Amino acid sequence: MNKNVLLINQLKGILLMMLALLMELPAQSQQLLDISGAVRDSENQEVLPGVTVTIASSGFSVKTDIDGQFHLQAKPDETLVFRHVGFDEQYVYVDSRVNIDVLLVKSTVGLDEVAVVAYATQKKETITGAIASVKTKELKQSPAANLAVTLAGRLPGLTTLQTSGEPGRDVTALFIRGRATINQTAPIVLIDGIERELTHIDPNEVESITILKDASSTALFGVRGANGVILVTTKRGTSEVPEINLSAEGAVQDFPRFFDMVNSYDYASLRNLALKNDGLPAQFSEKALEMYRTGADPVNYPNTNWRDIMMKDVALQQRYNLNISGTTNNRSMKYFVNATYLNQGGQFNVEQDLPYDPSFKLDRYSFRSNIDLQLNNRLSAFMNVAGYLEKQNMPMSILNRLGDIPTQLEGMSPALYIISFMTRVPANVPMLTPEGEVTTGPNIDWPAYGLLNRSGYVKQTRSNVLATFGMNQELDMVTKGLSARLVMSFDTRSINNLYGAREFIRYMQVINPSSDPTIPDEIYFSQYGGWLNTPITIGGGSNFVSLFNFQAYLNYNRQFDKHAITGMAFYQQQQNIQGIALPFNLRGFAGRLTYGYDNKYFMEFNAGYNGSEQFAKGKRFGFFPAISAGWLISNEPTFKDHDYISHLKLRGSYGLVGNDQLGGRRFLYLDDIYLGAGGYSTSLGLGQHIGINMLKNADITWEIARKTNVGFELGLFNELDLIVDVFKEKRDNILRNRSTIPLINGFPASVLPPVNIGVIENKGYEIELNYRKAVTADLSILTKLNFNHAKNKQLFADEPLLNPDFAYQYRATGYPLGQNFGYIVEGFFKDAEDIANSPQQVVGGHESRPGNFKYKDLNMDGTVNELDMAPLKYTAIPEYTFGAAFNVNYKQWDVSVLFQGVANVGRIMGDNGMWAGSGFSNYSDWHRYSWTPERAASGETIKYPRLTTQASPDERLNDFFYVDGSFLRLRNVELGYTFPVKLVTRMGIKRIRLYTNGLNLYTWDKLPFDGIDPELTSAYAYPIQRLFNFGVNVTF
């Protein structure tokens, strides 16, 4: 009993204590701190009046006064949100502090922001070179899996050309200011100052991307700077409060365009028409035509829709991202950590009961960790570690049988052949025989269905680890403004392939037409070729790449009254090892010196002295200087009264840069020899001898680009910015083969080495217009427009002048790179009389008939032949590019739209299904409107010359099949909603944003069919995909 009383008393004591604590907690929770502080601009430390300071949990807010000061009461564990037009939003944890000073970072796109340049940053108003940049916020408006794809239309001076939409191989070629060489044209890509690949970076890792365009900007890269430079800056820890960011996206992909062929009835009808035009009997009987038309006997007279069979309607893409950023309490360490998973499905439809998986798909796991350490007041260090693991799956197809697996898979895709042969097989070919074997058509060795499903599989694993370590030492003890920096990096990349290859038997349906409608056609399957079904053969291969880079800097930055001086001395050494090939080595020095007076007059000198092992000893190093100057007119005293002119600047640059990328060829300064057998003839059998593949060129050197740039910048009302650049480049020493050496020299042309003789001129202009305005406290708008022109001309190509009978006596000199020559079509031959009264056509050795093209006799000699070929309009690289981005923010809503386009670009319509001649004959929609006497007489639209089953003079490059590939594309649209802070902070969350966006939503173009994407250079390529994406972003 006493024990029970004691227990009850103890319980009473505990309950009374808990009750007291519960009564005390609300009292404590109501304790408020009187908090005050100042808000300043992080760039110039000026106070910011009118900044909104909000308590996250309650939504209560105040504004800073004219001195940038604020006062409010908040709980010790609260979070304050600082917002101001033109600045990034910032969250600050109170942490029981009563005095909080905040620096806000500008987020505008104006001319006063800090920009990334080669191995440094500069205030944009002091820059005298030609650069352009884009922030990660704009890049993430696109759901594209490839970062390079997101750049289309964003940057003035950058041309993007996507050549495939395949998962893991959505290749995008990049050109800065067009093309000025027949050799390597790709710009250098530097990620945080180290040369690396752009394709595999996750957009969530990126802070900004900058392109360097003129000699002043790229001279530091010396022998490799002629094609321009792309600088990628990744994110780093900046937030005072640790921030966790989660995002999840799911997208639906489809093909907005695909090249469809006609159905069985139209195919049979057009085939019969082609045979009739050739004076041959019909291949398909009237009964067969009726069966194809009605579909009454789909077993013997199928109507196979190869697209429906081999393609899914949609495929899925998903991406998940987690990143954490912040700084430690003592601010000695800043960190940014990012991890992303991407899954991209393919749109080919594969058999489900196969013992292997031949589908197209991609899984990518990527990570990044950027750590910054402040070791003491003068010494800092950083360490960046990043990488990815990609797993790509695909069918074996025919491509991977043509050579070494690892090499082939790095370039072309199996989809190239699958789509190519899919357009060749007519709709009247059944998918499979009754026994389930693959069928094919006449002259088609590799049926697409078999290539996709019965050829085997390839599983490729690509991994990459990138590690960079650096230290920065302030040397103020030597002289104020001096510092030293060391950077070392080591990258490894491996490519591993596992494949299973097999062969498969082919059959072809044979239809012997009956001339008697009462007697059925004879139909049976016959084995095609000698292929047989074989078991899977397992194999594999691998490749390995490593890159070592060492950099040493000495920097100087000092202000003397009105004089601002900066300098940089730079040394770099790089080695790239690719498999068993000899290493690629690069070594060089570079320097920069800038001078500014009174923030009005600026001069800059940049130079690179570097060399490449591509060239002979004693000729490996070159000096590449550039000079630039700028005048910030708006800072002149006479402009102080013109408030509407917020910025006015003139700048110009001239310099030399080089290009040592010679189209994959190496060591051309050495003889290329081989050991063979025989004497003067290998059949003599006189033992071994040394033969020559190519003679050496001991004087080989780099290309030299002489670049001039003049720029004009105008800012009005702090809202409107206009930037205009005009450029001209003359590139000489271009490596090319000679064409004017007579054969009497004793060597065949293939043995003679290339020499540095080519000269190309490239010139154009860029116009960029930006407008931003905070219309009200709730509404802001941002518009960014760019319009660009670049056109090249070959000034010297060592090309012999053709004889005067040629209408055009040069094929390269005076024309752009990639200039195509073809025949000029004047119309169609009406009849035999028209042919007899026209110049005789001798084109490909084929006789002209009514309905064939009538080509123009340009040299007026009465005969049309190769002498009459003329330059066709435009090349594959557009002369004009443009982009238009529109952004609107209203309260919690945001909308962005991006249009991108190109003009003056040529496209050859000569792929399978477009030319309907001999060999691989199938027909598309435009062949239904081919020339016939009846259609010509009635005045109907004619889209194609007469159909034939034989070789034709029409199937030659001409201006009918060479069309204008200009287009305007609705590249991106995004709609987002950010939940009110007051609502989400109750859940312990800083921010929640829901969004939906789309990629490649609609395209306007001038192509003759709807099924071809104007950006693709081949109808066989994996089509460019359209994406509809949905996502959520949560920040803690």
Look up the domain containing 20 and give its range. Answer: 1-26
State whether 291 and 404 are in the same domain: no
Helix (H, G, I), strand (E, B) or coil at 284: coil
Same domain, 536 and 416: yes
> pLDDT: is 700 or 910 the higher one?
700
Any domain includes 430: yes
Q: Are residues 295 and 318 in the same domain?
A: no
Q: Cα separation of 1031 and 248, whole Å? A: 5
In the structure encoding, which two tokens stand for residue 599, read together?
A: 């923030």
Buried b (16+ CB within 10 A) or exposed e, 506-529: bbbbebebeeeeeeebeeeeeebe
| In the predicted structure, residue 483 carries a pLDDT above the cut 90 | yes
Q: What is the per-residue pLDDT for 747? A: 76
pLDDT attached to residue 93: 82
Contacts of 327 (CB under 8 A, 6+ apart): 237, 238, 239, 240, 242, 333, 334, 335
Contact present, 552 and 473 (Cβ < 8 Å): no
* 281 and 404 inside one domain: no
443 CB neighbour count, 10 Å cutoff? 11
C-beta separation of 278 from 950 below 8 A: yes
Whether 668 is covered by a domain: the verdict is no
Residues in the chain: 1036
Residue type, 917: G
Q: Which residues pair with 494 in a beta bridge?
A: 463, 544
Average confidence (pLDDT) over 764-790: 93
Whole-model pTM: value is 0.88
Give percent of the chain above pLDDT 90.
Answer: 64
- The tens digit of pLDDT for each residue in 989-1028 reads 889 999 999 999 999 999 887 788 999 877 677 889 999 9
DSSP letter at 261 equals B
Report helix, strand or coil for 267: helix
Tens digits of per-residue pLDDT, 224-252?
999 999 999 999 987 667 889 999 999 99
* Residue 508: HSE in the Cβ half-sphere, 13 Å Cα cutoff: 18
How crowded is residue 763: how many other Cβ atoms within 10 Å of its Cβ?
18
CB atoms under 10 Å from CB of 556, counted, come to 16
Identify the pLDDT of residue 399.
Answer: 58
- Whether residue 809 has pLDDT greater than 90: yes
pLDDT in tens, 73-117: 998 888 888 888 778 788 888 888 899 999 887 765 444 467 889
Could you say which of 494, 522, 542 is where a domain stops?
542
Decide if 732 is inside a domain. Answer: no
Say which residue, 572 or 41, is predicted with more confidence. 572
Is 920 within the bounds of a domain?
no
What element of type H or E holds 136? helix 136-139
345/423 same-domain check: yes
pLDDT averaged over every residue in the chain: 88
Q: To the nearest 10°, the Cα dihedral for 63, 66, 68, 71?
A: -50
Report pLDDT digits (tens) over 345-377. Answer: 999 999 988 999 999 999 999 999 999 999 999
DSSP string of 953-1020? TTSS-BTTTEEE--EEEEEEEEEEEE--HHHHGGGT-SEEEEEEEEEEEEEEE--S-SSS-TT-S-TT
Residue 680 pLDDT level (bands cut at 50, 70, 90): low
pLDDT at 959 over 50: yes
Interatomic CA distance for residues 305 and 310, integer angstroms? 9
Q: How high is the pLDDT of residue 687?
A: 61
pLDDT bracket for residue 11 (50, 70, 90) = very low
Q: Which helix (H) or strand (E) holds 53?
A: strand 52-55
571 token code pair: 């040394």
Any bridge partners for residue 323, and if so which? 245, 338
Per-residue model confidence (pLDDT) at position 981: 81
For residue 409, pLDDT over 50 is answered with no
390: in domain: yes
326 and 350 fall within a common domain: yes
172-176, 723-727, 925-929: least confident range:
925-929
| pLDDT tens-place string over residues 514-557 | 777 778 888 899 999 999 999 999 998 888 999 999 999 999 99
The Cα 694–Cα 689 span in angstroms is: 16
Query: Of 542, 557, 583, which residue sits at a domain end?
Result: 542
Question: Do 454 and 434 belong together in one domain?
Answer: yes
Give the tens place of pLDDT for each residue, 124-135: 889 999 999 999
Distance, in Å, from the CA atom of 382 to the CA atom of 187, rounded to the nearest integer, reads 27
Per-residue b/e over 641-672, b at no fewer than 16 CB within 10 Å?
A: eeeeebbbbebbbbbbbbbbbbeeeeebbeee
Specify the higher pLDDT residue, 817 or 328: 817
Distance CA 874, CA 584 (A): 36
Residue 277 has which token pair?
């035009």
Residue 202 placed within a domain: no
Judgement on whether residues 275 and 407 belong to the same structural domain of the protein: no
CA dist., res. 181 & res. 600, Å (int): 37
Calpha distance 1004→967 (Å, rounded): 6
DSSP 8-state code for residue 792: E
Q: What does the pLDDT read at residue 744?
A: 67
d(CA 146, CA 11): 66
What's the chain's Rg over C-alpha atoms?
A: 34
Please tell me the total count of domains within the chain: 3
Strand order in the sheet with 52-55: 61-63, 52-55, 79-83, 90-93
Name the nearest CA neighbour of 878 among 179, 131, 228, 130.
179
What 3-state DSSP class applies to 872? coil
CB 591 within 8 A of CB 554: no
CA 275 → CA 271, 278, 917, 921, distances in Å?
A: 6, 5, 11, 12
Statement to judge: residues 360 and 318 lie in one domain: yes
Q: Is the pLDDT of residue 21 over 80?
A: no
Specify if 87 maps to a domain: no
Give the mean model confidence (pLDDT) for residues 402-419.
56
Mean pLDDT computed over 463-490:
96
Q: Are residues 281 and 351 in the same domain?
A: no
Q: Is residue 2's pLDDT more than 80?
A: no
pLDDT of residue 911: 65
Alpha carbons 484 and 471: distance in angstroms, whole number = 8
**What pLDDT does 329 receive?**
78
Domain shared by 278 and 345, yes or no: no
Per-residue confidence (pLDDT) for residue 209, from 0 to 100 = 95
Would you say residue 320 lies in a domain? yes
Which pLDDT score, from 0 to 100, does residue 241 have? 73
Query: Does residue 364 share a domain with residue 279?
Result: no
Q: Which amino acid is at 135?
A: K
Query: Which comes out higher in pLDDT, residue 91 or 974?
Result: 974
